[in-house]
Amino acid sequence: MKRVGFFDSPVLSVQVPQWRARLVAVCLMLGFIALIAKALHVQGLSTEFLQQQGERRYERTLVLPAMRGKIYDRTGSVVLASSVPVRAIWAIPEDAKGATKEQLAELAGLLGMRVPDIANRLADDSKTFVYIKRQVAVDVADKVRSLKVPGFHQQAEVQRFYPQGEIAAHVVGFTNIEDQGIEGMELAFDNALEGTPGSRRVIRDRLGRVIEDVQAVVPPMNGKDLHLSIDMGLQFDMYTALQKAMAEHRANGAAGVMLDVQTGEVLALVNLPTYNPNDREARKGNALRNRAITDTFEPGSIVKPFVAALALDNKHITVNTMFDTGNGHYRYQGSTISDVSRNGVINVADILRRSSNIGMTMISERMTSQEMWNKFTQLGFGRAPQVSFPGMASGRLRPWERWRPIERATMAYGYGLSVSLLQIAQAYTAFARDGDMVSLTLVKRQGKPASMPVYSTEVARSVRVMLEAAAGPDGAKLAQVQGYRIAGKSGTARKIVDGKYSKSQYRSSFAGFAPVSQPRIVVAITIDEPKGGAYYGGRVAAPVFADVVAAGLRRLGVKPDAPIDSLVASIPAREVVQ
């Protein structure tokens, strides 16, 4: 058989037309020219545009957080709030696909999360940034980094820390996860504390690593430190005393305020129940109530000294004016007003010492509603105290034109108006300062405080003597402090439940100051709904007042102004023998 060669194929022997060869050559040449033109366009004319587009895809502005200012107590030695460095764990979902199940399990264990929760955050591949967990402790974040999980990155953050915990929670407040003030002084002075964050414009690669800076770094300006008027020693003493009383009387709540008579500074302010501001889960519900500042209540008998002083100041009565309170029951304007006991014929000092509602009604008959309203307003009732703190309550004081005679009488002994504990404490500074009521502050005061005359000096001193008797052996004797002369008034008010005054729910209070010879502190205490039998202010709130005043005067180094009884003589014989 004849062998046929490869080149003897009839297909290969066909002649291609010259024009087709030239057409192919021209097309190839045009293609190369187009590629060269495109390369020139990209590399030359569009270089800057394309670089900008690329940088936009990988360029990031990093926020350089400013360190929030610290909060100190008045001594400057106790830190109430500070910022500590922490880290945020974030991820790029598309890059995180390379993470193994074992790596995710270890990561979840370190972060205290479940693997499905992490997976849900990574579900959207279109996102280029998702938080996995914020405010992670630095040591935990270092362990996370050592896992080298693909697509997971970290950035620096700060977290607010409150070393004193629940003791000063209602004063200091707290911040949110963005380090913004939410409650208390953290909110009131947020602008000063937060400072100004800086910025850094950088280019990152797909792994989140910073390749270069594209703009000059703007450094952050740290926030200013804040020194409060609170003394943590006094705060702790009040906190301990209120805790003890609340547990003893199984009360729903308690609050206390201590003021510096000379400067108007709030030295201690405690509310119970309280919360730990470091625990985000605890920062909710009833524990957040700032009972001393934002809650109002009908004060009861602790208002009586203000009405008595007004009657003396306006010459409606004198210290020698006598009132026949009868057998303890008095019909007035169709209602029966009662005293706890029969007091007979008494003067204004006895009215305060025995806390006679009938006597206060008789005093109110000699005054006009407008006179009482003007004095209450001057004392700060019905308007919020001028203190830099969020949520200051104004209380309730109806216009005097709408008062009926019976309402004027009930307001004279503390019903029909509402006040905050801080308002009561401030008003009592008028008796401690010879008629001059001082302005208040929660920040350590630098200059001389503003004040306003409320009563004449003579009347203020007369009422001070009466209040010393009201807290003496024949009055609320449980308020007495060994070695110091104290003055004050107890109050017991029925609470309104379903529009009516309850016969079983009370608020027990005591407000006063010490030492009488040269007053240094004003203390106001209130116990909400004490149970277990005792509910009178002189039985429930007065002992707390005594404990707080005793500890406070000792801490402040105030010299005793009364004889100190022998401790040995006061101990029962059987205890001495033991």
Prior bond to 219 cis, omega within 30? no
- b/e for 512-523, b at 16 or more Cβ within 10 A? bbbbbeebbbbb
| Predicted local distance difference test score (pLDDT) of residue 567 | 38
Work out the number of other CB atoms within 10 angstroms of the CB of residue 453.
14
CA distance 301 to 134: 52
By CB atoms closer than 10 A (0-12, 13-18, 19+), residue 449 is middle
Burial (CB < 10 A; 0-12, 13-18, 19+), residue 51, is exposed
* 298 contacts: CB under 8 Å, gap ≥ 6: 414, 415, 416, 417, 418, 493, 495, 496, 507
CA proximity to 153, closest of 205, 225, 105, 77: 205
Choose among 418, 415, 311, 413: nearest CA to 357: 413
Instruction: Name residue 246's amino acid.
Output: M
Residue reference for tokens 């205890």: 575
Phi, psi of 19 (to 5 degrees): -65, -30
Look at the alpha carbons of 244, 247, 249, 253 in this order and tell me if their dihedral is positive or negative: positive
Rg (CA), the chain: 38
Give yes or no for a cis peptide into 543 (omega within 30° of 0). Answer: no
Convert 149-165 into a string of H (helix), E (strand) and C (coil): CCCEEEEEEEEEECCCH
For 377-385, the CB contacts below 8 A with 24+ separation are 378/452, 378/454, 379/306, 379/423, 379/426, 379/427, 379/430, 379/437, 379/454, 380/423, 380/426, 380/427, 380/437, 381/417, 381/419, 381/423, 381/427, 382/417, 385/420, 385/422, 385/423, 385/426, 385/440
Distances (CA, A) of 57 to 91, 124, 202, 441: 16, 18, 11, 52
pTM of the model: 0.82
Query: Which residue ranges in the chain fall short of pLDDT 70?
Result: 1-16, 41-42, 44-63, 201-216, 565-578
Tell me how far CA of residue 456 lies from CA of 303, 310, 412, 434, 489, in angstroms. 18, 10, 20, 7, 20
Residue 204: what pLDDT? 61
Residue written as tokens 């003579």? 458
How many residues are given for the chain? 578
Give the per-residue pLDDT at 202: 63
φ/ψ (deg, to 5) at 172: -70, -40
- 174, 164, 392, 168: which is closest to 283 by C-alpha? 174
Query: What would you measure as the largest C-alpha separation in the chain, in angstroms?
Result: 157
Nearest Cα to 71, choosing from 136, 158, 156, 164?
164
Catalytic residue among 82, 83, 301, 508: 301
Q: How far apart are the first and last CA of the chain?
A: 140
Question: Which residue type occupies 367?
Answer: M
Strands (E), 129-227: 130-136, 152-161, 174-175, 181-183, 198-204, 210-213, 226-227
Question: How far, in Å, are 179, 225, 290, 500 from residue 82 at the CA level?
Answer: 11, 9, 22, 47
| Segments in 369-404 forming alpha helices (H) | 369-378
Can you spell out the DSSP letters for 256-314? EEEEETTT-BEEEEEEES---TT-GGGSSGGGG--TTTT--B--GGGGHHHHHHHHHHT
CA distance 11 to 35: 34
- Decide: 292 and 257 in contact? Cβ < 8 Å: yes
301 in active site: yes
Angle between helices 304-313 and 405-412 (to 10 degrees): 110
H or E element in which residue 243 lies: helix 232-249
- pLDDT at residue 50, as a whole number: 60
Across 193-237, the runs of DSSP E, i.e. the strands, are 198-204, 210-213, 226-227
Q: Report whether 369 contacts 417 (CB < 8 A).
A: no
